[in-house]
Amino acid sequence: MKLFCLPYAGGSESAFYSWKGHMQPDIEICPIQLKGRGRRFNEPCYESLEEAVQDIFEQVQAERKGDDYALFGHSMGSLLAYELYYQMSGAGAEKPVHIFFSGYKAPNRIRKKEKLHTLPNPIFKKKIVELGGTPEELINHKELFELFIPILKSDFKMVENYIYQERNSKIDCDITVLNGKEDAMSKEDVSDWKHHTSGHFTAYYFEGNHFFLHHHVEKITGIINHSLTASRTF
């Protein structure tokens, strides 16, 4: 079983490296490598969410090698996982046995808001710091943060330009939703995920804000291990 992990805006495959020591032996963590960061730092960032989803689709198809697989996305990664499911379905490809949506409201609950990616860099940086989750050493290192801004703006552009379209079919696997108790989401933002699946829906809440996943690695990986054991196909 492979678990393909999709990061939050500005994140890379390194966000999930610490999970590897917590997984059952038969579950392999496979962090998706996005353009413009990590090992693909020299590649240009995506121009659209559709471009990103196509790139991720090709990675999953190449790496899956016939194994069962699941998806985990946090924040922007949840939106990518949602659209990736329908890309897989539309292409007639093998679909995931389980999807974990973390730190993101149900897509039908997305409302238009301020487009941060259009802001001048100094104001954009201020907004990012206010959102939290950015390491202090990055915030305080001006030159390093300047390198990071194009990646963040590209990711924010993808999410902020996204337009939800209702699908004719629901996700036909179980889904698990994870959220921080202090994140700025209503109960309906979370519970509406259940309307997007014909499978079983489970929600978990954790102490913390939008970046709760960094502080609850053992609990989150425990939930994943348990859920994928239940979802296993033989």
Which residues, in sequence order, are CB contacts of 3 under 8 Å at separation 6+? 23, 27, 28, 29, 30, 69, 70, 71, 72, 224, 228
How many other CB atoms are found less than 10 A from the CB of residue 144?
A: 12
Residue 217 lies in a domain: yes
pLDDT tens readout for residues 40-57: 989 999 999 999 999 999
Residue 116 lies in a domain: no
Residue 222 lies in a domain: yes
Residue 19 lies in a domain: yes
Residue 106 lies in a domain: yes
Residue 139 lies in a domain: no
What is the C-alpha R_g of the chain?
17
Least confident range of 41-50, 54-63, 124-133, 170-179: 124-133
pLDDT the model gives residue 135: 66
Q: Is the pLDDT of residue 94 over 90?
A: yes
Give the start-end residues of each E strand in 87-200.
98-102, 174-180
What is this structure's pTM? 0.93
Q: CATH code at 18?
A: 3.40.50.1820
Rounded Cα gap, residues 171 and 191, in angstroms: 15
Band of the pLDDT at 142, cuts 50, 70, 90?
confident
pLDDT tens readout for residues 192-215: 999 999 999 999 999 988 889 889
pLDDT the model gives residue 231: 67
185: containing domain: 2-111+166-231
Residue 141 lies in a domain: no
Determine the residue type at 133: G
Q: Are strands 2-6 and 28-31 parallel, antiparallel or unpaired?
A: parallel
Which residues, in sequence order, are CB contacts of 223 under 8 Å at separation 6+? 176, 178, 204
Which residues, in sequence order, are CB contacts of 27 under 8 Å at separation 6+? 1, 2, 3, 224, 225, 228
Sheet holding 2-6, edge to edge: 28-31, 2-6, 69-74, 98-102, 174-180, 201-206
DSSP 143: H
Determine the residue type at 176: T
Count of the separate structural domains present in the chain: 1
DSSP 11: -
Residue 227 lies in a domain: yes
CA torsion through residues 81, 84, 90, 91, sign: negative
Q: 3-class SS at 45?
A: coil
